[in-house]
Every structure is written in structure tokens, then in C-alpha cells.
């Protein structure tokens, strides 16, 4: 490696370590922080965030990068400077003072939201949200030349997409989903009562972790803890953690949350460890990441084949609750479709409708066609028209998701549905390449799937751009057809359409 490259890497590793240190502080905040330490923890995290930003955008980093660009010869080094340049240019557009101002505001608003949400007190967060909107517009303005105010914000999480492309994809998908939802919801609802029994916490956690381990999650390089909002987080190349929450009176909560986060974690744990210390040690994009959480949560864990293996084990752990429940009944219960108010509780079929509402509202807010004071009512109106429901108040309406209150407005929701679409493309490609995958799953053998995903997807880290990665792995551009086919086949069979 050239000296210029070595010098750049020393700097990049320090930036990475500062960000990982901040991640450790965040993980602790979300799991174990004493109740009165919130303010000081926010301050500590904001310092680390600022130092990482300052170090990364420092003039000396720019000089190190330029020298490394001139010297990079191997494909490995060229990949490092290519992505570092992209991140550097992007980060350098944002003044450090702006980043600090925005971070401090999001942290304050998050605290206010957490307090106001239980009483559905939107008035307590409206001003803060308006300020967040100003900050999002300001952030966008640092990237001149964008066709849409949201484009630079989308590019930060889903490189390769714009507001226009997302809109088109969403419109096409919606046209397929709406009649399918309509058809399923006109049938008698599935009986999910077997899930609503008492399932002791420890046994739920143990079962979830056993399966996560079978998927390939390496507990020597990770762990699971309890939190309010489940997440996956990388604290180091060898420390990729997941969190979950347990409802002792509803079995589906902890299990599918665990396997969703396991999907994210398998991705992170599967990245080529030689990328450690560089910006390449990361997922390709928000959508590609979500494709993996959804693949393991839905295409695997909500499939009938998976439960042919897993259900006898689950019954053995919960004989009193499930001993008399057939596999078919259980399979229908975990795939019950119902129009609901809450995104994170939504079934596979209606989930994307929730995402599309949020994306459209984000766009309207950023474009200025919707004011924050009118947001709660706009939310209700869209839920009425798209899902036929109206939340009794703003707690389960516009205040239900943390995203707009804990960070930027804009660019945070599209990845969920893009990821769903990609999940079916990746799974279809894996099964085409290794036809034994579905049969293996129904015997509890996940290595064939895991191995294919690691080789064609996880290992690359950010070496390939998201849409190139998709094309390389599946031979296709973004295409909702496999996803729609998967949903149609599955729910047609389930509901006897």
C-alpha cells in the first residue's frame, strides 16, 4: 500500500472509531441508561458526533484523500478512495455549525416527543417539527442543483434514487397492491388468537435467539438486549448488536422483531472484515439493508416451509399454549392481514401503504404544499382514504414513528418499501442459483441461503453501489414483479382467493 493510502487510512480509522464510540453511547442510552442521565448523554454523543465530523471534513483529510487518489492502484484502494471521496464531498457541504445545531435540535425534540406522545400532545412538538423542517430544507440547500428538495436527503441513505424515481416505483407498486389488499380484506379474517396467550419473556427470548443463531448470527460478535424500539447497531467490526422488545401476551412481537434485526445483523457481520477502518465497512444503502431484515423476517420466517421445521420446536417450548394448535392455524395467524393504524404492526401486504403515506407527506412538507399545523389532519385524511381508518388521536397518528422526531424529515421512509421490493429479487436470485434453499429451510438448514447472500451481497460492503449490487446479484434492475408475485402467490393461497 502506498504511504498516501496508509496515511489516509489512519485518519479514516479514527473517524470510524469516533463514530463507533458514539454508537456505543447510543446503544447504552437505548438499553440501560439511568432515567436522569438523558441530557448529559445527549451532550456526550453530540461531542463525539462533532469531533467525527470535524476530523472527517478537515482540510488535512482532503489533502490525504487527494494524495491517496493520485496513488491508488489496486482495486481495493480505488474503492476506498471512490467512496471516501463521495462521503467527503457530501459531508464537506454541510457546515460543522449546521450539523451541531441540527443534532442538538433533534436530540431535544426526541425527548419532547417521548414525553408528549403518551398524551397525544402534538402541540408540544409542532414548533420543534417546524424547526426540523427548516433544518431539512437548509440541509438540502447545501447541495445545489437538485431537481427536488428531497433528492439530496434521499441520496444520503439510498444512493441512486430520487424523489421522482421513488414516486414512480411507489405508484406502480400501489396499483398492484391495492386490489390485492381489497381482495384479501373482503375475506373472513384469519384467527390469530393463538398468538394472544401468555408466553413468558425468557422463553420467548431464548427461542428467538436459538433461531437467530441457526440463521447464522454470531453471538461471539454480537448480543441481544431489550429496548423500547428494536434496532440493529454496529459498535465495531466484531460487535454487531440487536435489540428487541417482548410482549408476554403476544408471541409475534419479540420473535419477528428479533429475526428482522437478525437480518440486518447478518448483513453487517457478513461484510468483508478487511474493509474495517474504511467507509466501505457498511451496508450499501438503507434499502439494501432493509431488504435483508425483510428477507429473513418475512420471506424466511413467515414462510410455511420455515415453520415446518420451527413449529415443532416452538410447540415443545410452549406446549400449554400451542400443543393443540395446528401448523396451519399458526401459519395463518402469523400472516393475518388486517388494515391497521400502526406501521410497525402491519402485515406484509398493507405495510407498504403505511410507508407510502409517510413518503408522500414528507414530500409535501418539504415542497411547502403542506404546513406542519395541517400535518395531523393530512395524516388522518390519508389513513382514511388509503386504509379506511382514522386514529382516535395523534399518538397513533402522526406521532407514532420516531423518525421525524429523532432526526431529519425526508429520506427516511422510502428505504422500507424499496427494501421490500429488493428482498424478493434477492431471494428469487438465491433460489435460482441454489435450488435447494427452500427445502433446506424447511429442515432448519439456513447455511445455503446465508452463504449465497454473504457471497453475493454482504461481503461487498459498500464496494458496489446499491443498484450495481442489485444488478450483479440478481441480473436485474429494481423490479417489483418478483415481490408482487411473491405476495400474490402467498396470500392467494392463504386466503383461498
Task: List, by residue number, the catalytic residues.
Answer: 261
232-236 β-sheet, strand order: 224-226, 239-244, 232-236
Nearest distance from C-beta of residue 245 to its own copies, angstroms: 18
Count of residues binding its own copies (CB under 8 A)? 37
> What binding mask, one character per residue, do residues 46-65 give for its own copies by CB under 8 A, x or -?
-xx--x--------------
Smallest CA-to-CA distance from 383 within 373, 371, 396 is with 396
Smallest CA-to-CA distance from 110 within 454, 434, 481, 399 is with 399
Cβ-based nearer residue to its own copies, 54 or 396 = 54
Nearest distance from C-beta of residue 335 to its own copies, angstroms: 34
Nearest distance from C-beta of residue 7 to its own copies, angstroms: 17
Cβ-based nearer residue to its own copies, 188 or 202 = 202
Nearest distance from C-beta of residue 13 to its own copies, angstroms: 8
Site for its own copies in 252-311 (CB under 8 A): 276
Nearest distance from C-beta of residue 48 to its own copies, angstroms: 6
Q: Given 3-state DSSP classes, what are the helix, strand and coil percentages for the chain, each rounded to the nearest 5?
A: 70, 5, 30
Nearest distance from C-beta of residue 95 to its own copies, angstroms: 19
Question: What size, in residues, is the chain?
Answer: 497
Cβ-based nearer residue to its own copies, 24 or 434 = 24
DSSP 8-state assignment for residue 250: B
Phi and psi torsions of 86, nearest 5°: -60, -45
Residue 104 binds its own copies, judged by CB under 8 A: no
Nine cell digits for residue 402: 420516531
Cβ-based nearer residue to its own copies, 58 or 71 = 58
Nine cell digits for residue 479: 423490479
Nearest distance from C-beta of residue 341 to its own copies, angstroms: 34
Cβ-based nearer residue to its own copies, 47 or 252 = 47
* Among residues 12, 25, 299, 370, the one that binds its own copies under rule CB under 8 A: 25
Contact 415, 155 (CB under 8 A): no
Residue 142 binds its own copies, judged by CB under 8 A: no
* Among residues 115, 168, 198, 238, the one that binds its own copies under rule CB under 8 A: 238
* Among residues 3, 43, 373, 475, the one that binds its own copies under rule CB under 8 A: 43
The CA distances from residue 392 to 157, 229, 347, 400, 469, in Å, are 33, 22, 21, 12, 43
Smallest CA-to-CA distance from 457 within 425, 420, 480 is with 425
Cα–Cα distance, 365 to 374 (Å, whole number): 10
> What binding mask, one character per residue, do residues 197-236 give for its own copies by CB under 8 A, x or -?
---------------------xxxxxx-x---------xx
Cβ-based nearer residue to its own copies, 44 or 315 = 44
Contacts of 105 by beta carbon, 8 Å cutoff, 6+ apart: 128, 131, 132, 135
Residue 32 binds its own copies, judged by CB under 8 A: yes
Cβ-based nearer residue to its own copies, 235 or 299 = 235
* Among residues 36, 59, 182, 477, the one that binds its own copies under rule CB under 8 A: 36
- Residue in this structure with the C-alpha cell 483529510, named with its chain if needed: 61
Nine cell digits for residue 490: 402467498
Contact 65, 8 (CB under 8 A): yes
Contact 25, 45 (CB under 8 A): yes
The DSSP string of 199-240 is --HHHHHHHHHHHHHHHT--GGG--EEE-SS--EEEEETTEE
Site for its own copies in 2-21 (CB under 8 A): 14, 17-18, 20-21
For its own copies, the binding residues (CB under 8 A) are: 14, 17-18, 20-21, 24-25, 27-28, 32-37, 39-41, 43-44, 47-48, 51, 218-223, 225, 235-239, 241, 276
Amino acid at each position: 500500500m502506498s504511504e498516501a493510502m496508509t496515511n489516509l487510512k489512519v485518519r479514516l480509522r479514527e473517524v470510524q472509531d469516533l463514530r463507533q464510540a458514539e454508537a456505543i453511547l447510543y446503544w447504552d442510552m437505548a438499553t440501560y441508561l439511568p432515567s436522569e442521565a438523558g441530557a448529559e448523554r445527549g451532550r456526550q454523543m453530540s461531542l463525539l458526533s462533532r469531533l467525527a465530523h470535524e476530523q472527517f471534513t478537515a482540510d488535512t483529510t482532503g489533502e490525504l484523500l487527494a494524495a491517496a487518489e493520485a496513488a491508488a492502484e489496486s482495486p481495493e484502494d480505488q474503492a476506498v478512495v471512490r467512496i471516501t471521496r463521495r462521503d467527503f464531498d457530501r459531508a464537506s457541504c454541510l457546515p460543522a455549525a449546521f450539523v451541531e445545531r441540527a443534532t442538538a435540535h433533534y436530540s431535544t425534540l426526541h425527548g419532547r416527543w417521548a414525553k408528549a406522545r403518551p398524551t397525544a400532545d402534538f402541540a408540544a412538538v409542532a414548533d420543534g417539527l417546524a424547526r426540523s423542517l427548516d433544518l431539512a430544507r437548509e440541509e438540502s440547500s447545501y447541495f445545489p442543483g437538485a431537481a427536488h428538495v428531497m433528492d439530496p436527503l434521499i441520496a444520503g441513505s439510498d444512493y441512486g434514487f430520487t424523489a421522482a424515481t421513488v414516486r414512480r416505483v411507489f405508484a406502480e407498486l400501489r396499483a398492484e397492491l391495492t386490489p390485492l389488499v381489497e381482495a384479501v380484506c373482503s375475506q373472513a379474517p384469519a384467527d390469530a388468537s393463538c398468538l394472544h396467550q401468555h408466553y413468558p419473556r425468557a422463553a420467548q427470548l431464548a427461542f428467538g435467539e436459538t433461531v437467530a443463531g441457526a440463521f447464522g448470527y454470531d453471538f461471539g460478535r454480537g448480543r441481544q438486549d431489550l429496548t423500547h424500539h428494536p434496532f440493529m447497531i454496529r459498535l465495531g467490526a466484531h460487535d454487531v448488536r440487536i435489540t428487541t422488545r417482548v410482549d408476554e401476551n403476544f408471541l409475534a412481537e419479540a420473535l419477528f422483531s428479533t429475526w428482522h434485526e437478525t437480518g440486518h445483523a447478518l448483513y453487517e457481520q457478513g461484510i468483508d472484515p478487511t474493509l474495517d477502518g474504511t467507509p466501505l465497512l457498511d451496508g450499501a444503502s438503507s434499502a439494501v439493508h432493509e431488504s435483508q431484515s425483510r428477507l429473513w423476517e418475512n420471506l424466511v420466517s413467515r414462510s410455511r416451509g420455515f415453520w415446518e421445521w420451527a413449529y415443532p420446536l416452538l410447540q415443545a417450548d410452549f406446549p400449554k399454549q400451542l400443543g393443540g394448535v395446528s401448523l396451519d392455524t399458526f401459519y395463518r395467524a402469523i400472516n393475518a392481514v388486517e388494515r391497521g393504524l400502526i406501521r410497525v404492526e402491519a402485515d406484509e401486504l398493507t405495510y407498504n401503504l403505511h410507508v407510502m403515506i409517510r413518503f408522500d407527506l414528507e414530500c409535501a412538507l418539504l415542497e411547502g404544499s403542506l404546513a406542519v399545523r395541517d400535518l395531523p389532519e393530512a395524516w388522518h385524511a390519508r389513513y382514511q382514504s388509503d386504509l379506511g381508518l382514522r386514529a382516535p388521536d395523534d399518538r397513533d397518528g402522526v406521532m407514532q414513528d420516531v423518525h421525524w422526531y429523532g432526526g431529519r424529515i425526508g429520506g427516511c421512509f422510502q428505504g422500507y418499501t424499496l427494501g421490500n421490493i429488493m428482498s424478493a429479487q434477492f431471494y428469487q436470485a438465491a433460489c435460482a442459483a441454489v435450488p435447494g434453499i427452500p427445502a433446506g429451510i424447511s429442515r432448519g438448514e439456513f447455511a445455503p441461503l446465508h452463504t449465497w447472500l454473504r457471497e453475493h451481497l454482504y461481503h461487498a460492503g459498500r464496494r458496489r453501489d446499491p443498484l450495481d449490487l442489485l444488478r450483479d446479484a440478481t441480473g436485474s434492475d429494481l423490479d417489483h414483479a418478483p415481490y408482487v408475485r411473491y405476495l400474490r402467490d402467498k396470500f392467494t393461497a392463504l386466503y383461498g382467493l
